Amino acid sequence: MLKMISVLMMVTGLMSLPAAAAGKDLKDADLKALLEGGKTLQLGGAGMGYTGTLNLAANGTGAGSAQTDKGDKIVIQGQWRIKGNRFCRKWEGLDGGKEICETWRLVARNNVEVNHGKKMTGVNSW
């Protein structure tokens, strides 16, 4: 029975996390359960200065775009992976071509704060 519950959590992509889990950093297993099969994320939102959509494919590629409140469009395309409790990404034309690794902190059932180091850099939801 316990094994079936674990498999079900992985299939549903963290949707069965209890509300009490909010406020925790997602660990390697959490990130894999959420993203391994691919996921479409909503980026930003009210008060963040941007909104957009990002499609993360199971093969480790990502593509999408965001628009700033000023109307500037940001194209997102490149590679992603999960490494040591962090979501690591290398988007073409962003961040000087460097890989950026982020910690995702669950703040609501389907919403994370994205942190680079100690700085919150955005929010993602699904």
**85 contacts 104 by C-beta, under 8 angstroms:** no
- Please tell me the distance from the alpha carbon of residue 26 to that of residue 109, in angstroms, as a whole number: 12
Whether pLDDT at 109 is above 50: yes
**Residue range 14-57, pLDDT digits in tens:** 444 444 467 899 999 999 999 999 999 999 999 999 999 999 99
Instruction: Name the pTM for this structure.
Output: 0.81
For the chain, helix, strand, coil in percent to 5 are 20, 50, 30
Q: Which domains does the chain have, with CATH numbers?
A: 2-13+21-125 (2.40.128.360)
With 0-12 / 13-18 / 19 or more C-beta atoms within 10 angstroms meaning exposed / middle / buried, residue 54 is buried
* 1-5, 58-62, 110-114, 121-125, range with the lowest pLDDT: 1-5
What is the reported pLDDT for 22?
Answer: 73
The CA dihedral of 90, 78, 97, 33, to the nearest 10 degrees, is 0
User: Mean pLDDT for the chain?
Assistant: 87
Residue labelled with tokens 């680079």:
116
**Residue range 112-125, pLDDT digits in tens:** 999 999 999 999 99
Pick from 66, 104, 69, 67: nearest CA to 85: 104
